[in-house]
Structure 1
């Protein structure tokens, strides 16, 4: 028995050493080494398919103003097709279900009815004693956040409480204290719209099962959550105390994705807050090929981000570029290459000063940043973030950048 245990221990060490050695290598995707260049690995084949995919609505420098507007409309139409919003008629108008005074503002809770058998909720924070219509901000949270946290309120369930008094969280509360009307929503399947998480998992929301249902029905999570947010946005335009020409959409982390969808589809939105890093999502999938200890190559994100055919049309910087000339602030960096693309679009639109780009403090000095035309394959997640100038521990609502910027672009 002792010899057997010793042998097993020896084999275990070999296996562990092999796995560690395997992870230390990049293991190139194309490794069949055939003379004809063909691959037998299905991963290698689909990786090559993606590499050969050229987005049809990618932004190209050198457009004239007329060509730029044609491109914007083409991208907007493509986005509408991908989001596949259902046409729903005959639903009741949104209804206020609660109103409570706070220090200097009123907190309201509203219900809306996006489709038969469905109800959603959102919060409205209105400054006291407003004498004229005000600018308003639609606040969309990140994946583990709630509308209550954005408003500086405890969650609808104790399991959903977050550090809601932290200025790095309470986006909507900052907005109302600055004199704007703030509207806060939940992401689909999060917070009040989640399922059984309140009994155990809390803010570790199960987006994936909901996403799977939607995908099986020919839709997807981003299309569904953007459809809900669009209903709230349309309601905002009808409020007499909100300036329809001064509505801002502010997205944090996951919330930047519906923010971009709304921006591409609705030309009435005045300005945008992009509180995350900007990246080429197609490239991110192509370069994260380093296997883990189990010899599985990673995928950069979960199926809640899956939008069939998205990469056939655009990447995130293309969509951000299409928002020109409307004011936008980026608060958490990325590659200068992608910022340059967006800045080029704003120059073409005639409003180069309407885009403001910031890097994480760790990468604020250009000497500390990667400045490359393309990232290389063989990365894991930490290597990708470092190569893309991302500092994950410093990912939060950048109120110190956003609030002065809003004051400037809203003319206060």
Structure 2
């Protein structure tokens, strides 16, 4: 939003109040206004009220397993989407292709009762069962590709150029899913609603889509959370997969999805989240992308911050192995927010005598990327914990 837009917006709000006053409506004090972001004038008071009383250490619940149940129940409530409805996955396996030590195939399945979703499934050659990775794509305001950001689209030449350009921009030219399959992991990648086969959505349609979910008594972010947890369950029931060795891995919005899925699903033994972890209060500063609305709605669960911060939700997965990487030059996640989040996470895992299972790292010379050296460290970590 430009300075002109902000000033105009403020003038409109104040002017509206003045009009009410002229019309005989009693008012007291200064008129409300929208500032910085836009944020309400009184946003410091709202931010100060975010004390996260259900966080581990703040909550009166002192038994960790009981706390996990209570915290997960609160997250489940905030999703505003029905819990697991028992819909069979009913997978239909499509086009297959043998490639460089692994098999590539498309599978269509029901992640909810509402819709069938097409996914890419990579399986290493050999007898199995194999460890597996639920690979979760980013947002990036790029909707023509979803799963194709992480798995080379052997099935669609029209998306290949777009996917290769994305891989070059963020992943050192690699397709992370193909790299994992070569290393012996089964890989599943789906499209979130709005991307790839389920799109493409236009950037400025996101807010309307999310609003209409709310109008329908549901939630866009909640749907994505439910689908990711269900996708983990699908991997766990495949004969080719060792259900004790499944991890979620994601970059950017995919990182948010990875730690969120680990909090919601016991089918995940570990999670690696690259470039999405912060404290909410520290992230909500003028100029931050989350204040624009739009993309934020994929990660917005109404009312949840009255109870839990982002790292508090991720901590529901403790003491399972978790990795969080952040870029020291990442403009989306201020250093203060990353530090606050890492401190919270470290305290939780330490309280479980499991700090060695938590891998926190900030790459001081990197921004919002998941480049080859970061990938290599994640791959080695996965080999160790799985």
Q: TM-score, normalised by structure 1?
A: 0.72
Tell whether the 8 Å contact from 1:136 to 1:248 is kept in structure 2 after alignment: yes
Counterpart mapping for 1:258-407 below 5 A: 258-285=257-284, 287-288=285-286, 302-332=296-326, 334=335, 335-362=338-365, 391-392=367-368, 394=369, 398-407=374-383
Distance across 1 between alignment mates of 2:287 and 2:128: 55
1:173 matched to 2:178: yes
Distance across 1 between alignment mates of 2:134 and 2:343: 27
Q: 1:205 to 1:44 in 2, by over 3 A?
A: closer
Tell whether the 8 Å contact from 2:131 to 2:245 is kept in structure 1 after alignment: yes
Aligned to 1:331, what secondary structure does the other structure show? strand
Alignment-derived partner of residue 163 in structure 2: 162
Deviations 1:125-154 (A, max 9, x none): 00112x331110000000135212311226
Aligned to 2:192, what secondary structure does the other structure show? coil
Aligned to 2:340, what secondary structure does the other structure show? helix
Moved more, 208-217 or 103-112: 208-217
Offset, 1:396? 5.0
1:104 matched to 2:101: yes
Alignment-derived partner of residue 375 in structure 1: none
Q: 1:90 to 1:237 in 2, by over 3 A?
A: closer
Distance across 2 between alignment mates of 1:337 and 1:47: 18
Query: How many residues end up aligned between the 2 structures?
Result: 336
Q: 1:165 to 1:81 in 2, by over 3 A?
A: closer
1:72 matched to 2:68: yes
Aligned to 1:332, what secondary structure does the other structure show? strand
Deviations 1:337-393 (A, max 9, x none): 321211111111121100111112327xxxxxxxxxxxxxxxxxxxxxxxxxxx34x
Offset, 1:111? 0.5
Alignment-derived partner of residue 254 in structure 2: 255
Distance across 2 between alignment mates of 1:90 and 1:320: 27
Tell whether the 8 Å contact from 1:288 to 1:298 is kept in structure 2 after alignment: no
1:183 matched to 2:188: yes
Distance across 2 between alignment mates of 1:117 and 1:205: 24
Alignment-derived partner of residue 93 in structure 1: 90
Offset, 1:318? 1.0
Offset, 1:155? 7.6
Tell whether the 8 Å contact from 1:107 to 1:123 is kept in structure 2 after alignment: yes
Distance across 2 between alignment mates of 1:327 and 1:50: 31
Distance across 1 between alignment mates of 2:89 and 2:324: 37
Structure 2: where are the runs of 5+ without partners? Answer: 8-27, 34-39, 328-334
Q: In terms of Rg, which structure is larger?
A: 1
Distance across 2 between alignment mates of 1:189 and 1:153: 18
Distance across 1 between alignment mates of 2:60 and 2:379: 33
Offset, 1:63? 9.1
Q: 1:106 to 1:154 in 2, by over 3 A?
A: closer
Q: What RMSD over aligned residues (CA atoms) do the two structures have, in Å?
A: 3.2
Distance across 2 between alignment mates of 1:99 and 1:155: 9
Q: 1:62 to 1:347 in 2, by over 3 A?
A: farther
Moved more, 238-247 or 66-75: 66-75
Tell whether the 8 Å contact from 1:134 to 1:243 is kept in structure 2 after alignment: yes
Q: 1:116 to 1:241 in 2, by over 3 A?
A: closer
Moved more, 119-128 or 140-149: 140-149
Alignment-derived partner of residue 197 in structure 2: 192
Alignment-derived partner of residue 234 in structure 2: 235
